[in-house]
A and B are shown apart, each in its own frame.
With several copies, the nearest count.
Chain A
Amino acid sequence: MRLILDTIDENLIVKFKGELDHHTTEEARNKIDMWYFEKRKKNIIFDLRELNFMDSSGIGLIMGRYKTCKENGGEVFIVSSSSNIERILRMSGIYKIISVYPTVDSILENSLEG
Chain B
Amino acid sequence: MKNKNYMKLEFASKSTNEAFARVVVAAFASQLDPTIEEISDIKTAVSEAVTNSIIHGYENVEGMVTIESRIVDNEIEIIIKDEGKGIDDLEKALEPFYTSKPELERSGMGFTVMETFMDKLEVVSELEKGTKVRMIKKFKSLPNKE
**A contact set with B: CB distance below 8 Å:** 19, 21-23, 25-26, 29, 53-57, 59-61, 63-64, 83-84, 88, 91-92
Contact = CB atoms under 8 A, between A and B. Distances in A.
B112 A23 contact: no
Contacts of B64: none
27 contacts: A21-B18, A21-B19, A21-B22, A21-B47, A22-B47, A22-B55, A23-B16, A23-B19, A26-B15, A29-B105, A53-B22, A53-B40, A54-B44, A55-B44, A55-B47, A55-B48, A56-B48, A56-B107, A56-B110, A56-B113, A59-B107, A83-B37, A84-B37, A84-B40, A84-B44, A88-B44, A92-B109
A68 to B, nearest CB: 11
A92 B99 CA distance: 14
B129 interface: no
Contacts of B44: 53-55, 84, 88
Interface residues of B, number: 24
Contacts of A59: 107, 109
B43 interface: yes
A63 B107 contact: yes
Contacts, number: 63
Given A21-B19, A88-B113, 6 more contacts: A21-B18, A25-B105, A56-B48, A56-B110, A84-B37, A91-B112
B2 to A, nearest CB: 19
A17 B139 CA distance: 26
A53 B15 CA distance: 16
B5 to A, nearest CB: 13
B69 interface: no
A59 B18 CA distance: 17
Interface string B57-92: 000000000000000000000000000000000000
A21 B104 CA distance: 13
Nearest to B112: A91
B146 to A, nearest CB: 9
B133 interface: no
Contacts of B32: none
Contacts of B54: 22
Contacts of A57: 51, 106-107
